[in-house]
């Protein structure tokens, strides 16, 4: 009768165990539930689940229960050859009874030949375990082992799904923009957001200047930081980041932080175009090999996207600038003019429009040839650029005409500035070899919105003023309001 009751109890415990832990999706819940059931079945015990770490040959406790109080474990047992747990860890035995305290046992959690850990149970009453107890505990451990193994597979799958999702999200973000600045921000932001690193920094190689230049960083707080101050010559022994590109970065110090700082070069056909630096320095969380592989797997894509964006910017630059003078082309100038007009209207500011014409340019071309004419155009363009402030801009309007937009100038200052430009051009001296030809310019000005709040009309008015300047003898400036 008693025997039967015990058997029923044993089955009931195992059923309860299965029922309880089959839904556990994390180790914490699995161990907590298992230990609670065990403690309920065995009465006053202290029990702990240990997980085996084969590399370090240590058993690390995960969860401990004393009577009915659960706690995370923080005990680490180093298993040496003379330790009684050596046999348990290496398959010689499945049960170790403490010689000094017979009320304490360690039972292996073993799946086939793989040792996963152990369960240590100590009866607080000091009573020894009966054979019946031991057989129940063994069965309990078998079930727990299967549950741990299943959970491991489940968690591994979940991790892979997370990595895949991160890869997918990051890959999608990489192609989101063709503008380099925007693209770089997308890249660093999506890596931090989807992979949970403390910080990601991105550096690009500038082959023209032979420099490694800092671009942008993003951190866990959601802060985007410009790294433009970080610029290192591409020479060995100047900076650790550059050394890394030269293959010399793997020194002792970097090795000691290899699990919290990862350097990933961005390569296209074995040519380095940049460097991605991922770190968990502050959170001190180990960056595991799977995560490193994930970053490496899209390093090529990032490099490609960066190169594409660079090419796109180059093409865009070419499409908006005049190849001879480096000034904007008229189409882009007009677009910007519209934007500036909107801004003037919104903030109540004004802008002056200069229409500049080179005096007697046809004579230069006819007398000295087109290369000389080109040289004149380039020189005048450079002089115009010289008077522009950061917010001003200019374009090549036609063959020998230029246009500038200058912000916040009153009529008096506008005329003064124009006169200074005329003087500068005049004082330049002969513009090409073997010539005594001095070039002059004439300027017509109209001010927005005072002279007109319509861009087309504003240009017409500047043209009328320019006509007047030409009519009055060239090499001078006229404002539309002076007509």
Minimum separation from the CB atom of position 227 to another protein (A): 12
Rank residues 189 and 468 by Cβ distance to another protein and give the closer one: 189
Rank residues 12 and 76 by Cβ distance to another protein and give the closer one: 76
Minimum separation from the CB atom of position 220 to another protein (A): 5
Rank residues 255 and 343 by Cβ distance to another protein and give the closer one: 255
Which pair of structure tokens corresponds to residue 383? Answer: 């002089």
Q: Specify the length of the chain in residues.
A: 483
Rank residues 185 and 199 by Cβ distance to another protein and give the closer one: 199
Residue written as tokens 């909107």?
A: 342
| Residues 425, 459 contacting (CB under 8 angstroms) | no
Query: How many other C-beta atoms lie within 10 A of the C-beta of residue 473?
Result: 9
Rank residues 92 and 253 by Cβ distance to another protein and give the closer one: 253
Where are the strands (E) in 67-113, listed by range?
A: 69-72, 76-78, 95-97, 104-111
Give the number of C-alpha atoms closer than 13 A to the C-alpha of residue 468, restricted to the C-beta side: 16
Minimum separation from the CB atom of position 78 to another protein (A): 12
Minimum separation from the CB atom of position 448 to another protein (A): 45
Residues that bind another protein (CB under 8 A): 66, 69-74, 196, 198, 220-222, 240, 253-254, 256-257, 261, 279, 281-285
The alpha carbon torsion through 252, 253, 256, 260 (nearest 10 deg) reads -140
Rank residues 224 and 281 by Cβ distance to another protein and give the closer one: 281
**CA-based Rg of the chain, rounded to a whole angstrom?**
39
Rank residues 109 and 217 by Cβ distance to another protein and give the closer one: 217
Minimum separation from the CB atom of position 277 to another protein (A): 8
The two most distant CA atoms of the chain are separated, in Å, by 128
Rank residues 240 and 449 by Cβ distance to another protein and give the closer one: 240
Helix axes 455-471, 330-347, angle to 10 degrees: 110
What is the spatial distance between Cα 132 and Cα 21, in angstroms, rounded to a whole number? 23
What is the spatial distance between Cα 40 and Cα 43, in angstroms, rounded to a whole number? 6
Rank residues 64 and 337 by Cβ distance to another protein and give the closer one: 64
Minimum separation from the CB atom of position 162 to another protein (A): 8
Minimum separation from the CB atom of position 221 to another protein (A): 4
Q: Distance between the two ends of the chain, CA-based, in angstroms?
A: 123
Query: How many other C-beta atoms lie within 10 A of the C-beta of residue 157?
Result: 10
Minimum separation from the CB atom of position 41 to another protein (A): 20
Minimum separation from the CB atom of position 184 to another protein (A): 19
Rank residues 195 and 355 by Cβ distance to another protein and give the closer one: 195
What is the spatial distance between Cα 423 and Cα 277, in angstroms, rounded to a whole number? 53
Helices (H) and strands (E) in the chain, counts: 13, 19
Which pair of structure tokens corresponds to residue 287? Answer: 């960056």
Query: How many other C-beta atoms lie within 10 A of the C-beta of residue 33?
Result: 21
Eight-state DSSP code of residue 129: P
What is the spatial distance between Cα 297 and Cα 353, in angstroms, rounded to a whole number? 52
Minimum separation from the CB atom of position 321 to another protein (A): 39
């Amino acid at each position: 009768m008693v025997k039967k009751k015990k058997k029923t109890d044993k089955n009931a415990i195992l059923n309860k165990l299965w029922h309880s832990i089959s839904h556990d999706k994390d180790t914490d819940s699995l161990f907590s539930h298992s230990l609670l059931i065990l403690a309920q079945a065995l009465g006053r015990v202290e029990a702990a689940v240990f997980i085996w770490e084969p590399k370090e040959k240590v058993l690390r406790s995960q969860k401990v229960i004393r009577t009915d109080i659960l706690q995370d474990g923080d005990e680490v047992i180093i298993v040496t050859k003379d330790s009684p747990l050596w046999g348990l860890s290496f398959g010689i035995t499945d049960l170790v009874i403490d010689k000094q305290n017979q009320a304490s046992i360690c039972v292996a959690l073993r799946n086939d030949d793989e040792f996963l850990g152990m369960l240590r149970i100590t009866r607080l009453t000091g009573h020894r375990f009966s054979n019946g107890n031991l057989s129940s505990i063994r069965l309990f451990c078998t079930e727990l082992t299967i549950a741990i193994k299943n959970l491991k597979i489940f968690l591994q799958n979940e991790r892979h799904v997370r990595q895949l999702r991160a890869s997918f999200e990051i890959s999608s973000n990489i192609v989101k923009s063709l503008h380099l600045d925007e693209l770089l921000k997308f890249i660093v932001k999506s890596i931090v957001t989807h992979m949970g690193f403390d910080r990601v920094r991105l550096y690009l190689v500038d082959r023209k200047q032979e420099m490694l230049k800092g671009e942008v960083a993003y951190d866990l707080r959601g802060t985007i930081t410009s790294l433009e101050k970080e610029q290192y010559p591409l020479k060995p022994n100047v900076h650790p980041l550059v050394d890394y590109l030269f293959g010399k970065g793997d020194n002792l110090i970097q090795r000691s932080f290899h699990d919290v700082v990862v350097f990933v070069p961005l390569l296209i056909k074995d040519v380095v175009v940049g460097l991605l630096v991922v770190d968990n320095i502050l959170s001190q969380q180990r960056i595991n090999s799977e995560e490193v592989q994930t970053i490496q797997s899209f390093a090529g894509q990032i490099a490609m996207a960066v190169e594409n964006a660079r090419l796109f910017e180059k093409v865009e630059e070419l499409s908006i600038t005049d190849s001879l003078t480096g000034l904007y082309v008229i189409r882009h100038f007009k677009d910007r003019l519209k934007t500036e007009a909107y801004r003037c209207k919104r903030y109540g500011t004004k802008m002056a429009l200069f229409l500049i014409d080179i005096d007697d340019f046809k004579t230069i071309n006819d007398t000295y040839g087109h290369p000389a004419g080109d040289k004149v155009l380039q020189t005048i363009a450079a002089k115009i650029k010289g008077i522009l402030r950061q917010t001003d801009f200019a374009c090549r309007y036609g063959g020998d005409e230029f246009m500038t937009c200058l912000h916040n100038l009153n009529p008096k200052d506008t005329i003064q500035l124009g006169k200074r430009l005329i003087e500068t051009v005049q004082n330049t001296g002969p513009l090409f070899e073997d010539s005594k030809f001095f070039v002059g310019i004439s300027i017509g000005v109209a001010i927005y919105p005072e002279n007109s709040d319509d861009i087309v009309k504003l240009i017409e008015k500047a043209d009328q003023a320019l006509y007047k300047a030409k009519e009055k003898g060239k090499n001078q400036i006229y404002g539309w309001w002076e007509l």
